[in-house]
Chains A and B, each alone.
Chain A
Amino acid sequence: MSEMAIPFAVLPRGANTRIEPVAPLADADRKPLTKKEVSADHPTWCPGCGDFSVLALYFKLIEKRRMHHEKITTVAGIGCSSRFPYFVQAHGAHYIHGRALPFASGVALSRPDLHVFVFGGDGDAFSIGGNHFTHTARKNVKLTYVVMDNNVYGLTKNQTSPTSPIGFKSKTDVWGSKDRPINPIKQAICAGATFVGRTTATNPNHVLAMMEQAMDHDGFSFVQVLSECVEFYPGAFDNANPRKGGAFAEVPKEHDVTDEYAAYRLAENLWPGHFGVFYKVQRPTKNANEAQIVTDAQAKVAGLEPWQILKKNFDRMK
């Protein structure tokens, strides 16, 4: 008989948690969370960074949709934009570079009561985390992924990113980048994302609308937000900003968001391209598929305690 050094035990709350009774809070008593209540650290972003806008609109979304404080779940990887969870006064996880999506998938699949928001940048999403982007999209894990795309590596101070345009001069391509950039919208469509939206940080109402629609989508929702890096790529998105002489072209009204090929064609030119929902279809989510597997499996062991289910297996191994 093997001996166990650490026996079975019910684990109480840790000594780092105060557990004196907390008065219940009825839904009716909840007020919309103010910006003050949901903001935490002051953002470390440079003045003028497009990411401020995305953060402000996340707060707006929380307020508008009357999200419950404890249910706000914010996950990020590494990068300037990935500092996001520190600025939100809510449960947050700042994970490793490029792996925010699988981390968030673990949360989403084990905690169906939460809607996870993942924030990150173009390096996190399309370079180091490229594989995860593809697979999370194809599996249609229910969560929202907001990529603040600035076409440059900012945190590490000006290297070429996977979305930097050809000719972009950075510290790693002083003569101008030669590699074909990734087209995030096409990438998302091809990978099987069921909601693909595009917006720009300079149009707050549109950012909010995209995030709201993404949150309401039952499946993997992806939003590309053009978010200017004023330090290393100033003016990158001026051509999408009417105030800077550019044009903010919305996705044409007649565009069929369920037409994969039309969406792909619409994403052909993203300089500056269109803004809005490119693609939106309903496909069973990973979460729903797994839940069905669980329902089917549990029907076969209905009424049994976990130890009794295990005992059945052990009985077969005698």
Chain B
Amino acid sequence: MALSIPGAIVKGRTGFLVVLFSLFLVSMIFLSLSMGYIRIPITDILQIFLAKAALSVHGLQTMNETHLAVIMDVRLPRILSCAGVGAALALSGVLFQGILLNPLADPYTLGVSAGAAFGASIAILLNLGNAFVSVPLFAFAGASLTLFMVVFLSYSAKNPMAGLSSNNLILSGVIVAAILSAGISFLKFIANEQVSVIIFWLMGSFASKTWSNVWIITAFLGIGFFISMFFARDLNLISLGPKSAASLGVDLRKVTFILLVSGSLLAAVCVSISGIIGFVGLLVPHMVRFITGPDNRKLIPLSMLSGAFLLLFADTITRAVLPHEIPIGVLTALTGGPVFCWIFKKNRFK
């Protein structure tokens, strides 16, 4: 049964859209690889890939060594991390909007970002070990702890049906996030000279990402995608409200819990790799819903491709087009915010 996933997705219009969006993404990756401080022609990039694929040592030796290093060690890991994070944020957004029955929910609604930021701030402040390891690790731990705190707050053993409702979850998330924000402010206040490191980290960046980042995000994304597609139809039914969904055979508590944890861990791993990048998780599912409608079986794959494309587009602009690299989180919020305002106004009052 599991083997028929492509059969279920790649059919008719949706199949065509998946192929089309994948082509956009691949073109964007090549375009982004060629752009930057050193311009590298796409033919050279293709040659590098072909030589790598064929494991041809001779082929690689005859190439421009700088180009090879720039592509394989600098740009490709950054680009793939960025695309992976974009896809993961978009997927996380789809899951949160579906579970919380709220089109305004995003990966950070439950305070995951505040938790990650708090964790990262502690690691930076205490100067714990190798910053490349400890900061992401603390960010991830902070995000996960926040999630469990939020679930704990909104869960009631006495009345399990009312527990984990979207209202309870959102409210708990808001409370926990507010406490953590105050905590972050306090950490900044006592941080002295490290305050700039904290602030810069919080604004998000894909600079100097390595292959290990690529593998981590790919692993999380793969598992997250499988779980999401596994429960995609249940997620559709959840939008009918809890009673109707339960009467159609959805195990509400199980599905809500699994998808909530998946969405939060995806968001947590994103924050730990690249800091807080807003609006991708909110905006992408919204825009894709205009094309696919609300069916999560179509929404999930297409949102992931679009999220990857959009974040990579933004990162390429800040890396290769702007005279000075600005933090990606700032760029997405500055451009995504107004776009969201426009979509919101257009749809609410049409």
Q: Do the two chains belong together in a single complex? A: no
Mark B residues whose CB is within 8 Å of A. Answer: none
Mark A residues whose CB is within 8 Å of B. Answer: none
